[in-house]
Homo-oligomer: A and B are copies of this chain.
Amino acid sequence: MAIPSEMKALLLTGDGYTRTPSGSVLAAMEPYLQPGNIGVPTPGSSQVLIKVSLASINPSDVAFIKGQYGQPRAKGQPAGFEGVGTVVASGGEPYAKSLIGRRIAFATGVTNWGSWAEYAVAEAAGCIPLLDTVRDEDGAALIVNPLTALAMFDIVKEAGEKAFIMTAGASQLCKLIAGLAKEAGYRPIVTVRRDEQIPHLKEIGAAHVLNEKAPDFKAALREVVKTEQPRIFLDAVTGPLASAIFDAMPKRARWIIYGRLDPDTTVIREPGQLIFQHKHIEGFWLVEWMRQFRDKRGPAIMEAQKRFSDGRWSTDVTAVLPLDEAMAKVPAELAKPNGKVFIRP
């Protein structure tokens, strides 16, 4: 297959970080992206070039294009953190070469060549050759949510306590973790923003669901922390909610930040807790987890593919939009609940 010199892509209009953070809703694509043509990139020695079949849209993509995700934007480059596709070229390293012709799930990481484009670049080490039994829709959304769910739940299991806390409980990621937790007899405590979300989360595996907007939230939090003694806090939001939860948690609590959905200031309310109660604040990034725990990477990847192959997991599809229609249609599709929106380049 001949590789063209140019491709269509959705290109970032902003550079670096925003100075005016604006929450997690995407009202329109135009302030952040524009459709355009750009030269097809050449992969570095440890990288591969992928012909993108399907790209997913995650909350982290929305935060990123707005310039509020903790990774700087590179103006004029394609957006999109993950997708599925076929490797069509590689750099010189043997593992990268070995992937040519393979159908893979990929994450573009910090390559600045995102998946909302006809071609994307990814580190070969972060690519996942897919079983034929995994659908494109599942492969395109395999890394950011399912693998992260397995990795973060592994942290919970390693820590040894049955109870743990998650913010943004209604997210796809938290639902996956809640399901894993239920299977293994763990007790997730999750926060949501609407009472309607409570029954479904309890059904899929949350031991406690707290509405952060409820007037008695702080009392309910204190009570559940006292009863369950959770020590792991998987946090997608930061800001005042996360600060309050960490403050309420017992000795040896670990605040593990993996998202930044609330752009508000994040305060360590009582630094003395880090000194005398041995509390920690750290981050989680799947790329780093895979780098540090090479022995866990393979089993987690296989586990995710098995779950998608045998139907235990299945990605709910809200819409698959051609690249040409994405600018106009993505915001309305993203506003629909409970499913994933894809771009087909």
Residues of B within 8 A of A275 (CB): 70, 257-260, 283-285
Taken together as a complex, chains A and B put the C-alpha atoms of A281 and B271 apart, in Å, by 10
CB distance from A143 to the nearest CB of B (A): 15
Interface residues of A toward B: which range?
A: 20 to 34
Taken together as a complex, chains A and B put the C-alpha atoms of A265 and B280 apart, in Å, by 18
**Nearest CB to that of A287 among chain B residues?**
B276
- Is A183 in the interface zone, CB < 8 Å from B? no
Taken together as a complex, chains A and B put the C-alpha atoms of A71 and B270 apart, in Å, by 11
Residues of B within 8 A of A284 (CB): 275
Considering residues A238, A257, A275, which has the most beta carbons from chain B within 10 angstroms of its beta carbon? A275
CB distance B278 to A288 under 8 Å? yes
Taken together as a complex, chains A and B put the C-alpha atoms of A260 and B275 apart, in Å, by 9
Residues of B within 8 A of A281 (CB): 268, 274, 280-282
Residues of B within 8 A of A280 (CB): 280-283
| A 41-87 contacts with B by CB, 8 A | 69-71
CB distance B273 to A70 under 8 Å? yes
Residues of B within 8 A of A110 (CB): 276
CB distance from A294 to the nearest CB of B (A): 16
**Nearest CB to that of A281 among chain B residues?**
B281
CB distance B288 to A283 under 8 Å? no
- Is A215 in the interface zone, CB < 8 Å from B? no
Given contacts A266-B268, A267-B267, contact A276 B238 (CB under 8 A): no
* Extra pairs beyond A70-B275, A267-B267, A276-B283 (14, CB < 8 Å): A70-B270, A70-B276, A71-B272, A71-B276, A238-B268, A265-B267, A266-B267, A266-B268, A273-B283, A274-B281, A275-B283, A276-B285, A277-B283, A280-B280
A-B contact pairs, 24 of them (CB 8 A): A69-B272, A70-B270, A70-B272, A70-B275, A70-B276, A71-B276, A238-B268, A257-B274, A257-B275, A258-B275, A265-B267, A266-B267, A266-B271, A267-B267, A268-B281, A273-B283, A274-B282, A274-B283, A275-B283, A276-B283, A278-B283, A278-B288, A280-B280, A281-B282
